[in-house]
Amino acid sequence: MSAQATITLNDGLATPVAHNFDPKGAKTQADKTDLATWRDQSATYAVGYRTLTEKHTPVNSNGMEKFRYYIDVPTLETASSGGSFAPPPTRAYGTIAVVEVWAHQRASDQELKDIVAYVKNFTASTYFSNAITKREAAW
């Protein structure tokens, strides 16, 4: 496993803001998977921190290993106006993305570079953007 370092990701604002996801630890789980977490702690409250998680599953009996990336962007509940009591912040919902890559142990470096490029280019495509932001599925 490579060493954890801060990962900077821009948001989707008209003038993008860079968010630093700082390493919060990596460890091997009981099921032999490796789990690493990064957190953007720029939100005022911990319940509003953005999180990036990596789960790496080692090569299985079919020769496949899996890399799973999970991005969670929470939205906090807004308190109703009126009264002098401000309730503690709570999570209303989260917008979540999951990216999984299955890599065969026999895959060449070039094949792995290709799949990374396909994922990167697909998520940067107009189709992907419209599917999500305009809720326009292919059918």
Digit-by-digit pLDDT tens for the chain (139 residues) are: 567 899 999 999 999 999 999 999 999 999 989 999 999 999 989 999 999 999 999 999 999 999 999 999 999 988 766 667 777 889 999 999 999 999 999 999 999 999 999 999 999 999 999 999 999 887 7
**Helical axes 109-123 vs 126-133, angle rounded to 10°:** 50
**For 112-135, b where at least 16 C-beta lie within 10 A, e where not — what string?**
eeeeeeeeeeeeeeeeeeeeeeee
**pTM given for the model:** 0.86
H/E stretch holding 93: strand 91-104
